[in-house]
């Protein structure tokens, strides 16, 4: 269970998170939605410890995220970055097997490569991709490689940062389906941030809407369309009029 | 009073920057004794900083050595001191021009490439990805590069010194009428061990400065292409100025007596 209690974060005068309260039970797939610049990525990076919140607490199974063994904490997570964040200098298989080649999860090179190729197959890529470099791949293929890297060490929790941004609708659908399949198959806890409503409907068990630095609505995906929440209604229907200012 | 406020802001800004670089250096050094060690990255850094810099170091120092021989011959002719060409080329290359030119070439070639590479990694979230994969960017990216600069630039400096002296020898023997064996004899007999050690020590300091500045500005890069460009430009500027300032200080330390 991941719990955020009254998490606040500012950058200078820009108060991005103004008291976020959120809990994600084990095995649940939560999608955080919200407009650009509303603090979705900051919230996610706070959980991972990439950004330290100004106040509030973040716990994983009751343990504080910022104390104790950071490596052990991070080993429980996999992350798909918005742009893939693949390492340009390494071939695809070494990107996928990065965690399996160093640290506590280190395996022999042959075994790490085999696992990488198996994970690449799992995300629909052939083994001949393994020796290519990230710059030689299309955007959709890079996302798949990023997804393979996120699941390579079979983490308990997987984060997806804007998984379909920059993809055509068909490829976005393929990635959404893959994410859903993998999360269900692994029994992983998933946290996705997106403003793509097709991703929300494909991936989510529950949805949380972040606006003005706080969670405006949190509930099951099925209740989203009849929530009666003005912010959520405006967002999911893409209306210019409503409580969310169209020009930010 | 405006000028005083501006001066105060400048002093505070400079002190803060020195503090940030000191903390960054300390964080880098702290990984020297803490595993994991990334030997493959260290090997790649040695290749990039050392072996791949050889052509530019060789070309820079051979032309400078040749030009130095011509200048000393022309200047020496004004007071019948043309014969000192081998000695002055040797001391000029080993004590000053060799280490400084190698340092500046490393700043131009290596500092810029390190800063641009790390800044691009930061902008494209590759640094964040490293952290989420339980890999410390200071240990994985910074330490191997700085260590390579510290260890391999003295070697490059030694090679640059030799090539520079050979440039002077080539010009002196081919165009100025010097005897080859006598030229080399004069060079070897004139140089002292302290000249060579000071040259290598300068190389180690300049190599550390050059790689550290590339890493520091790369890791501190702002967002987007502009951030990468600014980090690259600032890293080369800082490395070049610090190398020249360090050269002045080290020359004072080694030779003031």
Is the pTM above the cut of 0.90?
Answer: no
B130 assigned to some structural domain = yes
In this predicted structure, the answer to whether residue B150 has a pLDDT above a threshold of 90 is: yes
B22 assigned to some structural domain = no
Residues A207-240: tens digit of each pLDDT: 999 998 899 999 999 998 888 888 888 888 888 8
- Predicted confidence at residue A83, as pLDDT, reads 86
Structure-block tokens of residue B107: 């700043």
Residues A134-148: tens digit of each pLDDT: 999 988 899 889 989
Summary mean pLDDT of chain B: 94
Confidence of residue A245 (pLDDT cuts 50, 70, 90): confident
In this predicted structure, the answer to whether residue B122 has a pLDDT above a threshold of 70 is: yes
Which of A178, A64, A121, A86 has the alpha carbon at shortest distance from B133?
A86
Which of A37, A50, A142, A150 to mutate to test binding with chain B, by most B CBs within 10 Å of its CB?
Answer: A50
Q: What is the DSSP letter of A222?
A: G
Q: Is the CB of residue A167 less than 8 Å from the CB of residue A6?
A: no
DSSP secondary structure letters along B140-151: IIIHHHHHHHHH
Q: Which of A100-104, B187-191, B235-239, B246-250 is predicted with the least confidence, judged by mean pLDDT?
A: A100-104
A237 assigned to some structural domain = no
Q: Do A75 and B134 touch (CB under 8 A)?
A: yes
- Predicted confidence at residue A189, as pLDDT, reads 92
Residues B65-119: tens digit of each pLDDT: 999 999 999 998 888 888 899 999 999 999 999 999 999 999 999 999 999 999 9
B81 assigned to some structural domain = yes
For residue B177, is it left (φ>0), alpha (ψ between -120 and 50) or beta?
A: left
Residues A1-37: tens digit of each pLDDT: 899 999 999 998 899 999 999 999 998 999 999 888 8
A121 assigned to some structural domain = yes
- Name chain B contacts of A79, Cβ cutoff 8 Å: 129, 132
d(CA B131, CA B124): 13
**If you measure CA to CA, which chain B residue comes closest to A79?**
B132
Residues B192-242: tens digit of each pLDDT: 999 999 999 999 999 999 999 999 999 999 888 999 999 999 999 999 999
Domain count, chain B: 1
In this predicted structure, the answer to whether residue B142 has a pLDDT above a threshold of 80 is: yes
Size of interface A-B (CB pairs under 8 A): 49
* Three-class secondary structure of residue A4 per DSSP: strand
Host domain of residue A135: 79-154
- Predicted confidence at residue A105, as pLDDT, reads 80
Q: Is the CB of residue B192 less than 8 Å from the CB of residue B89?
A: no
Task: Indicate the pairing of strand A55-60 with strand A2-11.
Answer: antiparallel
B19 assigned to some structural domain = no
Distance from CA of A75 to the nearest CA of B (A): 7
B7 assigned to some structural domain = no
d(CA B117, CA B139): 16
Domain count, chain A: 1
d(CA A119, CA A108): 17
Q: What angle do CA A185, A191, A194 make, to 5 degrees?
A: 115
A45 assigned to some structural domain = no
Report how far apart, in Å, the C-alpha atoms of A191 and of each of A43, A85, A144, A155, B61 are: 11, 18, 17, 13, 57
Q: Which residue is it, tokens 């004794």?
A: B33
Q: What is the DSSP letter of A169?
A: H
- Predicted confidence at residue A104, as pLDDT, reads 77
Bridge partners (DSSP) of residue A32 are: A193, A208
Residues A169-213: tens digit of each pLDDT: 888 888 888 888 888 888 899 999 998 888 899 999 999 999 988
d(CA B225, CA B13): 25
Q: Which of A69-73, A202-206, A216-220, A243-247 is predicted with the least confidence, judged by mean pLDDT?
A: A243-247
- Predicted confidence at residue A246, as pLDDT, reads 65
Residues B43-72: tens digit of each pLDDT: 999 999 999 999 999 999 999 999 999 999
Which of A77, A42, A51, A62 has the alpha carbon at shortest distance from A153?
A77
A48 assigned to some structural domain = no
- Rounded to an integer, the average pLDDT of A82-98 is 93
Host domain of residue B178: 38-255
Structure-block tokens of residue A111: 């075994």
Contact residues, chain B to chain A, C-beta under 8 Å: 36, 38, 120-121, 124-126, 128-129, 131-135
- Name chain B contacts of A82, Cβ cutoff 8 Å: 125
Structure-block tokens of residue A81: 């970055």
- Predicted confidence at residue B2, as pLDDT, reads 86
In this predicted structure, the answer to whether residue A247 has a pLDDT above a threshold of 70 is: no
Bridge partners (DSSP) of residue A170 are: none
Q: Do A50 and B132 touch (CB under 8 A)?
A: yes
ipTM of this predicted structure: 0.87
Summary mean pLDDT of chain A: 89
B27 assigned to some structural domain = no
**If you measure CA to CA, which chain B residue comes closest to A87?**
B126
């Amino acid at each position: 269970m991941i719990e955020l209690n009254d998490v606040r974060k500012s950058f200078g005068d820009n108060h991005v998170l103004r008291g976020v309260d959120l809990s994600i039970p084990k095995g649940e797939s939560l999608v955080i939605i919200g407009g650009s610049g509303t603090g979705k990525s900051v919230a996610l990076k706070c959980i991972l410890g990439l950004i330290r919140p100004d106040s509030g607490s973040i716990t994983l199974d009751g343990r504080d995220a910022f104390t104790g063994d950071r490596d052990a904490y991070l080993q429980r997570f996999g992350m798909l970055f918005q742009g893939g964040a693949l390492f340009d200098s390494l071939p695809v298989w070494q990107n996928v097997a990065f965690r399996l080649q160093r640290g506590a999860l280190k395996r022999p090179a042959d075994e790490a490569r085999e696992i990488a190729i198996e994970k690449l197959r799992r995300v629909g890529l052939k083994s001949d991709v393994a020796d290519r470099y990230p710059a030689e791949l299309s955007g959709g293929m890079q996302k798949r490689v990023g997804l393979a890297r996120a699941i390579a060490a079979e983490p308990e929790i997987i984060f997806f940062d804007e998984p379909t941004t920059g993809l055509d609708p068909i490829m976005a659908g393929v990635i959404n389906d893959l994410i859903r399949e993998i999360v269900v198959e692994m029994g992983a806890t998933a946290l996705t941030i997106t403003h793509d409503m097709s991703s929300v409907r494909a991936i989510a068990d529950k949805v949380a809407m972040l606006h003005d630095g706080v969670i405006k609505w949190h509930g099951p995906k099925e209740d989203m369309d009849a929530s009666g929440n003005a912010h959520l209604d405006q967002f999911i229907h893409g209306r210019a009029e409503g409580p969310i200012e169209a020009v930010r | 009073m405006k000028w005083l406020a501006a001066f105060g802001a400048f002093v505070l800004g400079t002190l803060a920057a020195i503090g940030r670089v000191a903390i960054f250096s300390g964080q880098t050094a702290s990984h020297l004794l803490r595993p994991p060690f990334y030997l493959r990255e260290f090997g790649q850094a040695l290749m990039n900083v050392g072996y791949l810099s050889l052509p530019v170091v060789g070309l820079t120092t051979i032309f400078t050595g040749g030009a130095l021989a011509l200048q000393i011959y022309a200047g020496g002719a004004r007071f019948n001191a043309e014969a000192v060409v081998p000695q002055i080329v040797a001391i000029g290359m080993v004590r000053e021009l060799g280490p400084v030119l190698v340092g500046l070439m490393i700043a131009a070639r290596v500092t810029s490439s390190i800063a641009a590479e790390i800044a691009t990694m930061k902008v494209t979230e590759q640094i964040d990805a490293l952290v989420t994969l339980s890999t410390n960017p200071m240990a994985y990216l910074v330490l191997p590069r700085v260590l390579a600069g510290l260890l391999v630039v003295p070697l490059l400096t030694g090679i640059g010194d030799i090539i520079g002296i050979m440039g002077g020898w080539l010009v002196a023997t081919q165009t100025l009428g010097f005897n080859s064996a006598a030229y080399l004899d004069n060079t070897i007999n004139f140089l002292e061990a302290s000249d060579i050690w000071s040259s290598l020590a300068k190389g180690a300091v300049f190599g550390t400065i050059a790689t550290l500045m590339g890493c520091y500005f790369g890791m501190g890069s702002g967002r987007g292409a502009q951030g990468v460009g600014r980090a690259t430009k600032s890293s080369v500027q800082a490395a070049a100025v610090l190398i020249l300032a360090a050269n002045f200080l080290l020359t004072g330390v080694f030779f003031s007596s």
